[in-house]
Chains A and B, each alone.
Chain A
Amino acid sequence: MDDKENQLVAMVLAGNSDAFEPLVRPYRRALLGLAYRITGNEEDAREAAQEALLNSYRYLGGFDRRRSFRNWLLRILVNAARKAVCRSSRALSLDNGADPVEPAEGPAGRFERKELGLRIKDCLAVLSERERVVFLLRDIEERNIQDTAEILGCSSASVRVHLSRARTKVKAELARRYPGLAGGGS
Chain B
Amino acid sequence: MTCRAWRSLAALAAGGDLDGRKQRRWEKHLAACPDCREEFRQLQESLARVRSLARREQTPDWPEAAWRRAVNRAVEQTRRPAAPASLRLPGWAWAGAAGLLIALIGAGVSFLKPGRAPRPAPERSLWADIILPEIAPPAPAEPGTAPALRPRPSSAFSRRPAAGRPALPPPRPPASTVMAMTFVSQETGLTVHWTFNDAFIYQEDHK
Neighbouring B residues of A112 by C-beta, 8 Å: 56
Neighbouring A residues of B158 by C-beta, 8 Å: none
Is B36 at the interface (CB under 8 A from chain A)?
Answer: no
Is B14 at the interface (CB under 8 A from chain A)?
Answer: yes
- B41 to nearest A CB, angstroms? 6
Is A170 at the interface (CB under 8 A from chain B)?
Answer: yes
| Minimum CB distance partner of B64 in chain A | A28
Contact B74 A54 (CB under 8 A): yes
Contact B38 A17 (CB under 8 A): no
Q: Considering only CB atoms and an 8 Å cut-off, how many residues of chain B contact the other chain?
A: 39
Main secondary structure of the interface of B (DSSP, over half): helix
The distance in angstroms between the C-alpha atoms of A104 and B41, with both chains bound, is 39
Pick out which of these stretches binds chain A: B44-52, B100-108, B173-181.
Answer: B44-52
Contact of A21 among B9, B51, B71, B77 (CB under 8 A): B71
| Minimum CB distance partner of A144 in chain B | B17
The distance in angstroms between the C-alpha atoms of A186 and B56, with both chains bound, is 25
Is B61 at the interface (CB under 8 A from chain A)?
Answer: yes
- Chain B residues 12 to 60 lying within 8 A of chain A, measured CB to CB, are 12, 14-15, 17, 38, 41-51, 53-54, 56-60
Contact of A182 among B42, B54, B71, B77 (CB under 8 A): B42
The distance in angstroms between the C-alpha atoms of A117 and B59, with both chains bound, is 9
The distance in angstroms between the C-alpha atoms of A113 and B59, with both chains bound, is 9
Neighbouring B residues of A160 by C-beta, 8 Å: 12, 17
User: When A49-B70, A139-B51 are in contact, do A186 and B42 touch as well, CB less than 8 Å?
Assistant: yes
Contact of A50 among B46, B51, B70, B79 (CB under 8 A): B70
| Minimum CB distance partner of B70 in chain A | A50
Contact A36 B59 (CB under 8 A): yes
- A149 to nearest B CB, angstroms? 12
The digit string for B96-122, where 1 denotes a CB below 8 A from any CB of A, is 000000000000000000000000000
| Minimum CB distance partner of B55 in chain A | A140
Is B182 at the interface (CB under 8 A from chain A)?
Answer: no
A17-B75, A164-B12, A182-B42 known; 9 other A-B pairs, CB under 8 Å? A32-B62, A36-B59, A57-B78, A113-B57, A117-B57, A120-B53, A139-B50, A140-B50, A183-B46
**7 interchain pairs (CB within 8 A)?**
A113-B56, A160-B17, A163-B15, A164-B11, A182-B42, A183-B49, A186-B42
- A interface list, Cβ under 8 A from B: 17, 20-21, 24-25, 28-29, 32-33, 36-37, 42, 45-46, 49-50, 53-54, 56-58, 100, 102, 105, 112-113, 116-117, 119-120, 123, 138-140, 142, 145, 160, 163-165, 167-168, 170-171, 174-175, 181-184, 186
